């Protein structure tokens, strides 16, 4: 095998033992450890499984593994075409992808559709981490996984976009900074030049002395290319070296394939001579006008929007990423959502108690405690929630409704964790299996469960949040459903939601700068949910986005220019500014339903 950049996992009898559609499955600890180890080597994992998506994702969430997989493909359609699309979406080549499945038929089908794909039965897992093809490169902070999560978000929004590719790129607000490379860039430059192939035009490999020459060039011109867009930061994603009037290095990360950055830079440099070596996954356009890229002077500017005058901060569970693609108000969106901590475990940042503790002096006081907890890290206490950078803050209160509060000894440090109705201090088996005996001993000795956040504390926290907001900021609260799912795992959870929703209603009524997106009138029965009262079917998120749009437009935010809307005759027209929000919302739902049927 060549260097593997992506491992695609089957689920039943591969990632876990058993068939989930037939009943409970058994998690395989070794496989979870392999996925985490791969991520720490910069190798991404995904899923291609024939299953019910909501059931399979719920099982992954139980084991805190869902955040490790990018673009999971879980449905009942043939696997071959799905794997090909997954590879294309992630801008990879089949030769750098490994697909693992327990059924030889599925492996044969995948190879038939993608002939260069590497395939293997689960037996390969016994020695996979020793295979040189998955040696990867140390990435303990999981930077590569986080960057692919940015790409995942962008792909999700692009699939919901009504318009052609150039229109989508224009609204993506792509920013590029071309800067002289520094000593700090050497490791990344080596990756781009010696390890990339798809967008490496010269494929001229280099050693350390040549890299140093590129950083301190004599007789040549070099540039490091930094890329970002409204979805996130792609970091140092390209490099060029111009020597004796010709390009000797012209390489880019596959994560920006399709952005047009390579053609934009080629034109910027005056289309110098370039001897292309081997296959390249992009054609350099000499004459095409690339008007969707903005050049900036420094890569600190890359997150700023050129079109939107207002910014929206979305803080909540990662399910809110399903809402963002449907927002039509012209705001630049930033996110603070649960993520994969440096330890490799999922970290939740969206509880009001975490916000209260988000102060540098607090983190410094308890840094030794925080550093020992695998499911949070110091980044979890960094927030822009109380800064004036965002005119609008959208905050989901569901973590406050759900999590248990654990206190460290008799101090002011508290940590929200999982569901309040399970005491993990008494679950040694759970803690040891996931985090090891040493952590289990320490956690059990030092933490106590105080139960759920009380009604009084929740109301006080909301009032505190409102009081801390800068003047002129609107807080938009997203409440919870009150549907009785008759769940044995979370019995009568709808009654708790009802009490806490009433508290949200009171706070909203008291403050003119606080608005409510009311889930109660949208999620009206169990068919609108997936695996819990907090997770909704896809058709719910366009409606929630429409309610957010109504609040934003009422505060003077326009809808995006040149919004493509499908007319009744099936033709696409470009609409300036805003259409009536109800008509637009109904049309989006109709389009979504049509895509689902197709």
Which of 284, 301, 318 is the endpoint of a domain?
Answer: 301
Residue 355, helix vs strand vs coil: helix
SS3 156: helix
Tell me which residue range forms the domain holding 587. Answer: 561-598
Give a yes or no: residue 56 inside a domain: yes
**Co-location of 68 and 188 in the same domain:** no
Is beta strand 6-9 parallel, antiparallel or unpaired with respect to 44-50?
Answer: parallel
Q: Which of residues 323 and 571 earns the better pLDDT score?
A: 323
pLDDT grade, residue 306 (50/70/90)?
A: very low
Q: Are residues 239 and 326 in the same domain?
A: no
Residue with tokens 């985490």: 36
Q: Do the Cβ atoms of 116 and 87 come closer than 8 Å?
A: no
State the CATH number of the domain containing residue 65: 3.40.50.1000
| Alpha carbon distance 4, 21 (integer Å) | 31
Q: 417: how many CB neighbours lie within 10 A of its CB?
A: 20
Q: What is the CATH number of the domain that holds 461?
A: 3.40.50.1110
Which tokens hold the place of 155?
A: 């792909």
Whole-number pLDDT of residue 256: 84
Q: How far is residue 372's CA from residue 69's CA, in Å, rounded to a whole number?
A: 25
- In this prediction, residues 387-407 reach a mean pLDDT of 95
pTM above 0.85, yes or no: no
By CB neighbour count within 10 A (0-12 exposed, 13-18 middle, 19+ buried), where does 244 fall?
Answer: exposed
Residue 592 has pLDDT above 50, yes or no: no
267 and 190 share one domain: yes
Q: Looking at the structure, do residues 134 and 37 belong to the same domain, yes or no?
A: yes
Where is 31: in which H helix or E strand? Answer: helix 29-39
Question: Is pLDDT at 557 greater than 80 in this prediction?
Answer: yes
- Residues found in the chain: 598
% of the chain beyond a pLDDT of 90: 52
How far is Cα 578 from Cα 285, in angstroms, rounded to an integer?
Answer: 35
pLDDT reading at 512 higher than 60 = yes
Q: How confident is the model at residue 301 (pLDDT cuts 50, 70, 90)?
A: very low
| pLDDT tens sequence across 98-134 | 999 998 889 988 998 999 999 999 999 999 999 999 9
Contacts of 509 (CB under 8 A, 6+ apart): none
- Pair of tokens at residue 427: 């679950």
Q: Quick check: is 386 in a domain?
A: yes
| CA–CA gap between residue 23 and residue 42 (Å, rounded) | 34
Inside any domain, residue 425: no
SS3 state of residue 247: strand
Q: How far apart are CA 138 and CA 327, in angstroms?
A: 37
Number of other CB atoms surrounding residue 327 within 10 Å: 23
Q: 559: pLDDT confidence band, cut at 50, 70 and 90?
A: confident
- Whether 31 and 16 have beta carbons less than 8 Å apart is answered as yes
Residues 333 and 463 in one domain: yes
Residue with tokens 């010696």: 194
Whether 121 and 51 share a structural domain: yes
Residue 595 has pLDDT above 80, yes or no: no
- Both tokens assigned to 88: 């294309």
Is it the case that residue 578 has pLDDT exceeding 50? no
What is the number of domains present in the chain?
4
pLDDT in tens, 251-270: 998 778 788 999 999 999 99
pLDDT score recorded for residue 433 = 87
Q: 477 near 508, Cβ under 8 Å?
A: yes
Residue 162 in domain? no
CA distance 220 to 242: 6
Distances (CA, A) of 559 to 72, 376, 517, 551: 31, 37, 18, 12
pLDDT of residue 167: 77
CA dihedral 175, 180, 186, 192 (to 10 degrees): 50
**CA–CA separation, 345 vs 516, rounded Å?**
32
**Neighbour-count burial of 519, counting CB atoms closer than 10 A to its CB (0-12 exposed, 13-18 middle, 19+ buried):** buried
> Furthest-apart CA pair in the chain: how many Å?
74
Based on the fold, state whether residues 127 and 234 are members of the same structural domain: no
Dihedrals phi, psi of 341, to nearest 5 degrees: -70, 170
For residue range 128-153, list pLDDT tens digits in order.
999 999 999 888 888 888 878 877 87
Whether residues 214 and 262 share a domain: the answer is yes
Please give the pLDDT value at position 212.
85
The residue from 129, 146, 163 where one domain ends is 146
The string of DSSP codes covering 404-445 is EEEEETTSS-EEEEEETTS-GGG-HHHHHHHH-HHHHHHHHH
Residue 169: its pLDDT value, please? 81
Question: Which among 146, 165, 195 is the end of a domain?
Answer: 146
Pair (517, 593) in one structural domain: no
pLDDT, average across residues 331-354: 82
Q: Where are the beta strands (DSSP E) in 445-555?
A: 447-452, 474-478, 514-517
> Which of 140-144, 189-193, 339-343, 425-429 shows the lowest per-residue confidence on average (mean pLDDT)?
339-343
Other beta carbons within 10 angstroms of residue 498's beta carbon come to 14
Evaluate whether residue 415 is within a structural domain: no
Mean pLDDT of the chain: 85
pLDDT given at position 596: 41
Say which CATH number the domain at 200 has: 3.40.630
Strand, coil or helix: what is 402? helix
Token pair belonging to 487: 């769940």
Q: First-to-last CA distance in the chain?
A: 37
- Using the structure block, give the residue that is written with the tokens 């700090």: 184
546 shares a domain with 475: yes
d(CA 46, CA 101): 12
Total Cβ atoms within 10 A of residue 152: 21
Convert the pLDDT of each residue in 363-380 to its tens digit: 999 999 999 999 898 888
Same domain, 397 and 260: no
Task: Return phi, psi of residue 119, to 5°.
Answer: -130, 155
Residues 461 and 571 in one domain: no
- Is residue 496 helix, strand or coil? helix
Q: Please, which residues have CB within 8 angstroms of residue 321's CB and are 6 or more apart in sequence?
A: 153, 156, 335, 337
Closest CA to 182 of 146, 211, 147: 211
Whether the per-residue pLDDT at 589 is higher than 60: the answer is: no
Residue from 418, 384, 424, 380 nearest 401 by CA: 418
Residue 297 lies in a domain: yes
Establish if 421 belongs to a structural domain. Answer: no
103 lies in some domain: yes
């Amino acid at each position: 095998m060549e260097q593997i950049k992506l491992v695609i996992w089957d689920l039943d009898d591969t990632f876990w033992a058993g068939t989930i559609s037939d009943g409970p499955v058994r998690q395989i600890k070794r496989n979870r450890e392999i996925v985490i180890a791969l991520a720490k080597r910069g190798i991404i994992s995904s899923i291609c499984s024939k299953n019910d998506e909501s059931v399979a994702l719920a099982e992954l969430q139980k084991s805190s593994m869902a955040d490790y997989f990018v673009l999971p493909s879980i449905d009942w359609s043939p696997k071959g075409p799905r794997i090909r699309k997954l590879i294309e979406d992630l801008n990879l080549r089949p030769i750098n992808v490994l697909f693992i499945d327990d059924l030889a038929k599925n492996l044969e089908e995948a190879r038939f559709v993608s002939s260069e794909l590497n395939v293997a039965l689960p037996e390969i897992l016994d020695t996979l981490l020793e295979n040189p093809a998955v040696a990867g490169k140390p990435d303990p902070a999981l930077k590569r996984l986080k960057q692919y999560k940015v790409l995942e978000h962008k792909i999700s929004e692009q699939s919901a976009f009504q318009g052609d590719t150039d229109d989508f790129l224009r609204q993506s607000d792509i920013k590029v900074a071309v800067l002289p490379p520094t000593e700090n860039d050497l490791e990344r430059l080596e990756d781009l030049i010696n390890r990339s192939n798809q967008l490496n035009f010269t494929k001229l490999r280099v050693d350390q002395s040549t890299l140093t020459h590129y950083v301190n060039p004599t007789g040549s011109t070099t540039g490091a290319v930094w890329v970002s867009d409204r979805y996130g930061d792609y970091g140092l994603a390209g490099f060029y070296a111009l020597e004796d009037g010709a390009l000797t290095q012209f390489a880019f990360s596959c994560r920006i394939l399709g952005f047009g950055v390579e053609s934009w830079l080629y034109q910027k440099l005056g289309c110098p001579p370039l001897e292309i070596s081997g296959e390249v996954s992009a054609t350099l356009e000499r004459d095409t006008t690339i008007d969707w890229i903005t050049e900036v002077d420094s890569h600190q500017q890359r997150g700023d929007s050129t079109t939107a005058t207002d910014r929206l901060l979305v803080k909540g569970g990662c399910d809110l990423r399903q809402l963002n693609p449907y927002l039509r108000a012209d705001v630049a969106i930033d996110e603070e959502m649960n993520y994969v901590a440096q330890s490799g475990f999922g970290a939740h940042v969206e509880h009001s108690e975490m916000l209260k503790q988000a102060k540098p002096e607090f983190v410094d006081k308890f840094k030794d405690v925080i550093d020992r907890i695998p499911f949070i890290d110091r980044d979890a206490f960094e927030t822009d929630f109380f800064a004036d950078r965002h005119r609008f803050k959208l905050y989901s209160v569901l973590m406050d409704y759900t999590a248990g509060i654990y206190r460290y000894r008799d101090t002011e440090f508290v940590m929200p964790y999982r569901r309040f109705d399970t005491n993990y201090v008494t679950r040694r088996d759970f803690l040891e299996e996931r985090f090891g005996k040493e952590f289990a001993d320490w956690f059990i000795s030092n933490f106590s469960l105080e139960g759920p956040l009380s009604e009084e504390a929740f109301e006080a926290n909301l009032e505190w949040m409102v009081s801390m907001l800068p003047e002129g900021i609107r807080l938009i609260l997203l409440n919870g459903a009150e549907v009785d799912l008759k769940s044995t795992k979370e019995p009568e959870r709808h009654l708790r939601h009802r009490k806490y929703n009433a508290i949200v209603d009171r706070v909203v009524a008291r403050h003119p700068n606080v608005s409510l997106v009311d889930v109660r009138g949208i999620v009206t029965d169990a068919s609108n949910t997936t695996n819990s009262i907090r997770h909704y079917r896809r058709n719910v998120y366009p409606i929630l986005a429409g309610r957010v749009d109504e609040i934003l437009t009422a505060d003077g935010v326009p809808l995006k220019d040149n919004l493509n809307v499908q007319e009744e005759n099936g033709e696409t027209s470009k609409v300036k500014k805003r259409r009536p929000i109800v008509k637009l919302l109904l049309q989006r739902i109709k389009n979504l339903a049509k895509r689902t049927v197709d």
